[in-house]
Structure 1
Amino acid sequence: MDYSFDFQSVFRNIGPLWDGLWVTIELTLAANVVGLTLGFVLALLIMTRWAAVRWPFMLFVEFFRCTPAIVQIVWFFYCVPMLFDVFLGPMTMGIMALGLNLAAFNAEAYRASIQAVPREQLDAGVALGLNPFQRIAYIVLPTAVRNSIPVLLTNGIGIFQQSALVAIVAIQDLMYQGKTLATQTYRPIETFTIVALVYFAVSFPISQIVGYLERRREVMAS
């Protein structure tokens, strides 16, 4: 291969990549706020005994879990304004698309954790006179969040990586800035190698934390 690597041409113009990284982090954090809160609500709704309430939200979860994230992003950006005459900023639309996608996956993590809450704890809540909302707030929620932390963190890493898809709708995230820089410098190999390393540098420490938490949970359970 007759190719001369020149990473310096990328490092000399690396400023936009840092700007794009901050946009990516903002998208990821906001999407996680949506996904963590809405996911728990969805988990409760799909576990209700009333089928008329349960089925629409089950379909909502399955739709977002069974369709590609890139299709969801494109649909939000192009179809929502046309169908509902709602025009929001690109960042807001990106957060909505990624947040709803994450909420669907987090709902399943929460559901499994809620089902693992010991019946004795719920019975104790009833004996103490706690109403259903108090039992959810003081018994179900803390236990479900604690048990599902490894999965929630893994899903959070996944949405950080999937946020690169918003580049196709011109949100100036890390991937978008990388594509622009590669075009300007004519150095796609060096540029996308650096972009990949940045994604890895952010994701790898969190994945190690997830592994540590899973090992710790296994030790505590044994």
Structure 2
Amino acid sequence: MNYTFDLGAVTRNFDVLLQGLSLTLQLTIAANIVGLILGFLLALMLVSRFALVRGPATAFVEFFRCTPALIQIVWFFYCVPMLFNVFIGSITMAVLALGLNLAAFNAEAYRAAIQAVPREHEDAGIALGLSPLQRVLYIILPSAIRASVPVLLTNGIGILQQSALVSIVAVPDLMYEAKTLATETYRPIETFTIVALMYFAISLPVSQLVGWLERRRPA
């Protein structure tokens, strides 16, 4: 192989990659906020006794878990405007697509955690005269969050990696900027190697944190 490596072609344009990384992190944080909040609401619907409440939530979760994230992103970007005559900024649309996808996976994590909350805890809340909303806020929510934190963190870092898919619809995230830079400099190996290391540098600490939390969980 006669290929000559030249990292300088990438490092000289590193500010472009940093701009893309900044947007990637913004998308990840915003999508996680959507996923954490909506996921918990969906989980409450999933454990409802009423089929009319449980059914739509189940359909939502199954749809987003059983279809590729790439298809979901493309559908939101191209089909929503055509079907509903709704035109939203590309970044907002990306957050919506990623957030709804994450919410479906977080809902299952929350659901398992909610069902693991001892019945005695809820009975104690009833005995104290707490309303259903107060029991959710002060008993179920704290217990569910503590139990599901490792899974939620894993899902959150997964959405960081899946955010690279929005580059296909021209959202200028890290992957999009990397593809553009690789095309302009004719240095795809150097560019995508550095970008892979950037994703790795962000994901590894979170992965280590998940492992640490798992080891500290009571048996």
Is it true that 1:111 corresponds to 2:150 in the alignment?
no
Partner of 1:100: 100
**Partner residue, 1:213:** 213
Counterparts of 2:14 and 2:128, CA distance in 1: 59
Measure, in 2, the Cα distance between the counterparts of 1:48 and 1:166. 34
Gaps of 5+ in 2: none
Q: So what's the TM-score if we normalise by structure 1? A: 0.98
| Corresponding position: 1:175 with 2:175 | yes
Secondary structure at 1:28's aligned position in 2? Answer: helix
- Partners in 2 of 1:200 and 1:36 — Cα distance? 23
Matched with 1:38 is: 38
Instruction: Determine helix, strand or coil for the equivalent of 1:88.
Output: coil
Question: Which structure 1 residue ranges, 5 or more long, are not aligned?
Answer: none
What whole-Å deviation, never above 9, does each CA across 1:133-155 have from its counterpart, x for those lacking one? 00000000000000000000000
Q: CA–CA distance in 1 between the matches of 2:142 and 2:70?
A: 33
How well do the aligned residues superpose, as a CA RMSD in angstroms? 0.5
Paired AA for residue 51 in structure 1 = A
1:11 maps to a residue whose letter is: T
User: After superposition, what is the alpha-carbon deviation per residue over 1:146-173, rounded to whole angstroms, capped at 9, x for unaligned?
Assistant: 0000000000000000000000000000
Kindly report which structure 2 residues correspond to 1:113-132, keeping only aligned pairs within 5 A, or say none: 113-132=113-132
Q: Distance in 2 between matches of 1:47 and 1:116?
A: 12
TM-score by length of 2: 0.99
1:83 CA displacement: 0.6
Size of the aligned set, in residue pairs, is 219
Aligned pairs for 1:160-171 within 5 A = 160-171=160-171
Task: Say whether 1:138 aligns with 2:134.
Answer: no
Q: Distance in 1 between matches of 2:123 and 2:51?
A: 24
Q: CA deviation at 1:52?
A: 1.5
Structure 2 CA distance, aligned partners of 1:193 and 1:64? 31
1:58 corresponding residue in structure 2: 58
Percent identical: 70
How far apart are 1:57 and its partner, in Å? 1.2
Q: CA deviation at 1:119?
A: 0.8
CA distance, structure 1, for counterparts of residue 197 and residue 31 of structure 2: 22
The letter of the residue matching 2:161 is: Q
Q: What is aligned with 1:67?
A: 67
In the TM superposition, residue 47 of structure 1 has moved relative to its aligned partner by 1.0
